Amino acid sequence: MSAAVAERNIATLHRFHTAVNSGDPDTIAKAFDEYLAPDLVFHAPVAVGTTGPEALKRVWEVLLGAFPDLRVVVEETIAEGDKVVSRNTVTGTHRGDYQGLAPTGRTVTYGEIFILRFVDGRIAEIRGVVDVLSQLRQLGAVPS
Tens digit of each residue's pLDDT (9 = 90 or more) over 14-42? 999 999 999 888 899 899 999 999 999 98
d(CA 52, CA 41): 5
Q: Considering only CA atoms, which of 88, 91, 83 is closest in space to residue 113?
A: 88
How confident is the model at residue 23, as a pLDDT?
87
The mean pLDDT of 93-119, rounded to a whole number, is: 96
Strands 36-43 and 122-130: parallel
Instruction: State the SS3 of 46-114.
Output: CCCCCCHHHHHHHHHHHHHHHCCCCEEEEEEEEEECCEEEEEEEEEEECCCCECCECCCCCEEEEEEEE
pLDDT band of 122, cuts 50, 70, 90: very high
The CATH number of the domain covering residues in 3-138: 3.10.450.50
